[in-house]
Structure 1
Amino acid sequence: MKDFQMLNYIKNVINNMPSDWLNLTTHRLDIYNEKLAKTQFITKFENLFKANDFSKEALSELPTAYDYIRLGHPLSSVLEWVIAKLVGLDAENVISFSSETMPILAVLRTNLLENRTTRILYTESLPQNLNTVLLKSVYNYDFEIQQIDDAENIEAFDGTTILVSKHQTVKTNLKNEAIDFYVNGYEGLGSVLLMSSKSTSSFISDIQHVRRRETIAMTPANCLVALNAYIQQARFSPQSLDTVKHKAEVKAIINNINATSGGALVASSGLSMQYAIMMGLIDDAQQKHPGKAIKFIVPTNCYGGTNDQARRVAACLGNVAIVDLEVDGDNDMVTSLETVLRSAAREDAVPYIIAEIPTNPRVEVPNLDDLKAVLTKKRQASNGQTAIAPVFILDQTFCPNVQFLGNDGILSNIKTIAYVSGSKFPSGGKCTAGYCVANTKAEGLIELISAHLQLCDNEATNLQYKILAEQMPSMLTRIAMAYKNTRAFVNYIHSVLPDAKINFVSEVLAAQGFTPSVFSLDLPTKGKTDEEREAYKRALNLRLINMMIAEIPNESKYCVSYGQLKGCYWTVPATSTQGTTKENHKDYIARVSVSPDLDLEKHKAVFLEFVENL
């Protein structure tokens, strides 16, 4: 009876759910309370269930669940809640993944740091991508594996036990207290991790953090497939797509845009892509430079996910360290690179540089000739030998149209891998998939990066490939149109509020192809002390953002994305994209993202009204 009531309720919820539940890839900050992000949605959803309220209005008013779709979203939260109800667990003990292997890696990571042993049991077979050799040799994970016939009679184990099995329906059971984690693989959809009620809250948080940084939650589309299977009491029935065709189209477009001809890789998110790049390069360093220190050189104020993930990788490996790179404001990227590369050379370390061009959120571009010079400079180690040349890992999400990697590109003589967040320009905000490609000198690294992308089962989903195949052909046109609108808006702001500091590319850089559609706005402030002036500016940021949303609700949004197809997105990087960046490196400024399709005159009019009320 209880299951029937829930089945009927979920059926009605699916019929009435807001379209954003399926289509939105980034969280709405206007209904988001970060401190309650992991609980507030489910608490209020549970109240609706008890009241049997499934109206579209009530569902639309539910707060943002988690953030983006990496950590979780409304449909993944509902799916986890359903499964938790079926098996008698708290909803927080059920975590969905787009990957079939990452829940296993999440437990292994926590146990590595806690010095716990792990036993992986399986019934039919392990996920085909689970490369146990790489997990031990590159990731430093320690575990034992055993196939079993009977999941009910498992002996106790001094450590953590994971049971891996495959399912074609939502319903499952927890039967044995000797099992700590159930990893239920849903082929074609992802997986669901169930933690026994004795699991500690720290385990839950650690596993959610893996999902946030190194992979993504089960996608909204796949969660919907699973929920529909539950409603119909049937097997999973994923959408049939021509994925072979879509993959070929997407990879051809990537090579064409970047002026490359080698392999292109597409991952479930930008951070999934970055994780495969990092682990692939560590693998390469272990093979070519065994025993040597590995230095990931990372901008201090870059996107918080990049910063956090790099440090998370280093925490697991004794020979990997993070080196801070100052790149914005009073710090020049090239000068800073010279300092850190000289230091890495002295230590005879393997240097890997992660950098955003243009930078985020200050939208700065280094002198490219100077950058080329510092990256190609020959240096000596303290032992007199030639230092190891760096690999440049370029995040060019702001300007994916710039051909850094071609044979005539500015970085053609430096081993360079470029990657892009697909939720931005490539898909226009329709999916989170990200991609990477290498120049000729770095093409040999793609095979290793691919091996780790497959190990993590983080390749783009079939639907993500379809979306990219549909959206990427228009990407260059959209970038050009969005830049045109952004330049016009920036020029207007400068004319009506000349005291504001605007961070945007110069006309000279734009002529070189750097045509982003995002700028940052440092509003004029006042006060007697630094503290008063900073507090006034922060309040002014929010006043501007709230005014834009109130006056232009159909276009202006309080959101962190850019490259979107329509409208204008506003955020404060320090409280969103720089969430895990050190406090003294955060930017409490307004960041504005302009699309190719918006009412520019209306945005100008509202901004003028804001200025007149200062």
Structure 2
Amino acid sequence: MQNSNLVDYLKNVLDNLPQDWIKLTTHRLDIYNEELAKTEFLEHFEKLFKDNEFSRSALESLPTAYDYIRLGHPLSSILEWAIAKQNNLKPEQVIGFSSKTMAILAVLRKNHFENKKTQLLYKDNFPRYIDAGIIREVYGYDFDITHIDDKDAILNFKGSNVFINENQELGQLDWQNNIDFFVSIHDDFGSLIHIHNKNADYVSDIQHVRRRETVAITPGDSLKALQILVGRPDEESTTYSTKDNKAKVIDNIKRITDTTAKPLLGSCGLSVQYAIMMGLIHEAQTNYPNKAIKIIVPPNCYGGTNDQARRVAACLKNVDIMDLPVDGDNDMVSSTDMVLNHVAKLDAVPLIIAEIPTNPRVEVPNLKDLKTALTKTRHNPKGEQAVDPIFILDQTFCPNYNFLGDNQILSTVETISYVSGSKFPSGGKCTAGYLVANKKAEYLLDKIETNLKLCDNEATEFQLSILAEQLPSMNQRITAAYKNTREFVEFIKETLPSAKINFVSKDLAAMGFTPSVFSLDLPTKGDTPEERETYKRSLNKKLINRMITEIPGESKYCVSYGQLKGCYWTIPATSTQGTTKEEDKDYIARVSVSPDLDLEKHKAVFAQFVEDEIHSS
């Protein structure tokens, strides 16, 4: 790296890093503006650079970068900014991925919708992990692969030229005008895509792939890359016992889930979900090549799930989305029965995604009736037996519940279960996710693993070390957090009986459903539905502000669950349901309680809020 001012400044920044930049896996909503999330951090950081200001306090006061580690975070943003400065590009024209392949898939996806050809260029060896056959047949992307001896010899190709270079010096580009995208792949931390000025309209689409199907270069790896960039030797590099850690993680997951097949481990919950989606589509295309595929998904479930499912369907002609209403006045069981009857009439392949308990209203369906609906024999219009559904269960909010073991409620339903590891499995310390299959669905794991590896979305060494450390205590932490949550919920009921609380019943808890998150609808007033909704939303914000102001060491305005300490507050409609249709959003408060917090202080602050804002108004 040649710019001495830039190098010196980056060295000073690295010497004064806020700890949250390394450890925080979710955004702080108190310094987060979603509309400006992709620009605000670097605009403020650029000003600090010009002022040569690098104190820890100045860095800590910067607004949140992007939204999650998936889309980007302070260190990945600074890495991209520094490389862009070095190569006279705008910061948004350099995008880092923990995956070696997803940057390439992002260009292919964009060109798929633009009906534009793509040429993948390489000089030495084409990356062995890019399976061209699967990408063409399963993902539906069209492209050519061309070996070249000299980039100047690239022919006039009518489409996008993507030049792939492995393990070159970080940040150094041998840019040519006839190259549209330069992808540099690095074994230690993933890949960086550099976008030519004439292709600026690709930036948002490539970022969205990173947000929904993978993760950015992780904080630890971004730090490592920045150290390399400023010429510091990698003397502090941590060595992980990866083989041992992976074995421990797999053993713990099998024990917790009561399954026997090998679990699969991904870089985040959505990476795992994407592997499931593409793996099951791959399987369906193999077994039912002439049948349509229907992805059945609740319209108001977690926004990432909803958005990703629709993005997958948009790419493939034989894949469509069908809604599965599950919350409020809708019942998951009757909705499942109805939609599966409809799919049978269409003679299609049904893939159902559902959260149990649901988010944010923390509802659990009648599981026996759900099993009946999923296992019911149905027939297509020809009188033949319809294709049985595959149930894709997101049990992030109750990862300790045994759905899949022998003689358990879903043991006779082909079921893949997955969990976002940023919640209870890691205690909020990393984003890695995992999936398991029951015995009826074990045959699906081969195709799912194939697609997980093709996307290079497997958990990193660091993530495996965190899971190996945290998983053994997960069930114990879940029990303690539930106990605190139940006590807080009962206190709120007594203090404010008019509030509507969504939490599992004691009967469900006795069955093993012990989440530590609840949603809260505060009492409202007004002459019209609009006035009542506006008042409720305002009151929710006042409550959150009161809690985080008066208990700043524990109460956070943050999107999290399963954290090791404190109490996290959010409004799903403005965070986790960010891409959900407006009419399906829930503007209610969601509260996540940990096993370690000052519960009496939280009760006292809530009681005072009720006295000040409700009883006195």
Q: Which TM-score tier does this pair reach, normalised by the shorter chain?
A: over 0.9
Rounded Cα–Cα distance in structure 2 between residues aligned with 1:252 and 1:579 = 35
Q: Does residue 477 of the first structure (1) align with residue 495 of the second (2)?
A: no
| Contact 1:168-1:187 at 8 Å conserved across structures | no
The equivalent of 2:546 in structure 1 is 547
The equivalent of 1:359 in structure 2 is 358
Secondary structure at the residue paired with 1:606?
helix
The equivalent of 1:124 in structure 2 is 124
The equivalent of 1:165 in structure 2 is 165
Deviations 1:481-535 (A, max 9, x none): 0000000000000000000000000000000000000000010000111111000
Secondary structure at the residue paired with 1:204?
helix
Distance 1:174 1:234, change over 3 A: farther
The equivalent of 1:258 in structure 2 is 257
The equivalent of 1:600 in structure 2 is 599
Deviations 1:21-50 (A, max 9, x none): 011000111001111111111111011001
Superposed, 1:298-317 pairs within 5 Å as: 298-317=297-316
Rounded Cα–Cα distance in structure 1 between residues aligned with 2:198 and 2:167 = 24
AA aligned opposite 2:282: D
Distance 1:238 1:199, change over 3 A: farther
The equivalent of 2:590 in structure 1 is 591
| Stretch deviating more after TM superposition (389-398 or 149-158) | 149-158
Rounded Cα–Cα distance in structure 1 between residues aligned with 2:167 and 2:86 = 15
- Per-residue deviation, 1:2: 6.5
The equivalent of 2:495 in structure 1 is 496
The equivalent of 2:28 in structure 1 is 28
Rounded Cα–Cα distance in structure 2 between residues aligned with 1:125 and 1:531 = 61
The equivalent of 1:68 in structure 2 is 68
Distance 1:233 1:199, change over 3 A: farther
The equivalent of 2:395 in structure 1 is 396
| Contact 2:279-2:451 at 8 Å conserved across structures | yes
Rounded Cα–Cα distance in structure 2 between residues aligned with 1:32 and 1:250 = 33
Q: Does residue 107 of the first structure (1) align with residue 76 of the second (2)?
A: no
Rounded Cα–Cα distance in structure 2 between residues aligned with 1:522 and 1:345 = 38
Rounded Cα–Cα distance in structure 2 between residues aligned with 1:19 and 1:123 = 41
- Per-residue deviation, 1:477: 0.3
TM-score normalised by L of structure 2 = 0.98
Rounded Cα–Cα distance in structure 2 between residues aligned with 1:216 and 1:237 = 24
Rounded Cα–Cα distance in structure 1 between residues aligned with 2:407 and 2:5 = 64
Which stretches in structure 2 are left out of the alignment for 5+ residues? none
- Per-residue deviation, 1:236: 10
Deviations 1:373-425 (A, max 9, x none): 00010001111110000000000000000010001210000000000000000
Rounded Cα–Cα distance in structure 2 between residues aligned with 1:569 and 1:444 = 39
The equivalent of 2:43 in structure 1 is 43
The equivalent of 1:241 in structure 2 is 240
| Contact 1:94-1:195 at 8 Å conserved across structures | yes
Q: Does residue 434 of the first structure (1) align with residue 409 of the second (2)?
A: no
Deviations 1:273-292 (A, max 9, x none): 00000000000000101110
The equivalent of 1:345 in structure 2 is 344
| Contact 2:96-2:190 at 8 Å conserved across structures | yes
Q: Does residue 572 of the first structure (1) align with residue 564 of the second (2)?
A: no
| Stretch deviating more after TM superposition (170-179 or 455-464) | 170-179
| Contact 2:93-2:200 at 8 Å conserved across structures | no
Rounded Cα–Cα distance in structure 1 between residues aligned with 2:563 and 2:29 = 16
| Stretch deviating more after TM superposition (236-245 or 46-55) | 236-245
After TM superposition, which residue ranges in structure 1, 4 or more long, deviate above 4 angstroms?
233-238
Deviations 1:152-204 (A, max 9, x none): 43232110000000125323124210100011001121111000111132x10
Rounded Cα–Cα distance in structure 2 between residues aligned with 1:334 and 1:74 = 43
- Per-residue deviation, 1:147: 1.8
Secondary structure at the residue paired with 2:527?
coil
Deviations 1:277-315 (A, max 9, x none): 000000000010111010010011100000000000000
The equivalent of 2:373 in structure 1 is 374
| Stretch deviating more after TM superposition (296-305 or 154-163) | 154-163
Q: Does residue 296 of the first structure (1) align with residue 289 of the second (2)?
A: no
Superposed, 1:198-217 pairs within 5 Å as: 198-201=198-201, 203-217=202-216
Which stretches in structure 1 are left out of the alignment for 5+ residues? none
Rounded Cα–Cα distance in structure 1 between residues aligned with 2:206 and 2:236 = 28
Rounded Cα–Cα distance in structure 2 between residues aligned with 1:567 and 1:233 = 37
AA aligned opposite 2:136: K
Secondary structure at the residue paired with 1:520?
strand
- Per-residue deviation, 1:235: 7.7
| Stretch deviating more after TM superposition (235-244 or 330-339) | 235-244
| Stretch deviating more after TM superposition (586-595 or 121-130) | 121-130
The equivalent of 2:506 in structure 1 is 507
Rounded Cα–Cα distance in structure 1 between residues aligned with 2:330 and 2:209 = 32
Secondary structure at the residue paired with 1:232?
coil
- Per-residue deviation, 1:205: 0.3
Distance 1:240 1:128, change over 3 A: farther
| Contact 2:224-2:234 at 8 Å conserved across structures | no
Secondary structure at the residue paired with 1:199?
helix
- Per-residue deviation, 1:231: 1.7
- Per-residue deviation, 1:233: 5.6
The equivalent of 2:556 in structure 1 is 557
Rounded Cα–Cα distance in structure 1 between residues aligned with 2:144 and 2:235 = 31
Distance 1:239 1:127, change over 3 A: farther
Secondary structure at the residue paired with 1:342?
helix
- Per-residue deviation, 1:151: 2.8
AA aligned opposite 2:194: L
Rounded Cα–Cα distance in structure 2 between residues aligned with 1:127 and 1:270 = 26
Rounded Cα–Cα distance in structure 2 between residues aligned with 1:406 and 1:152 = 59
Percent identity, aligned pairs only, is 62
TM-score normalised by L of structure 1 = 0.99
Deviations 1:51-91 (A, max 9, x none): 00001111011000001100000000000001001111000
Secondary structure at the residue paired with 2:67?
coil
Secondary structure at the residue paired with 2:320?
strand
Rounded Cα–Cα distance in structure 1 between residues aligned with 2:234 and 2:593 = 43
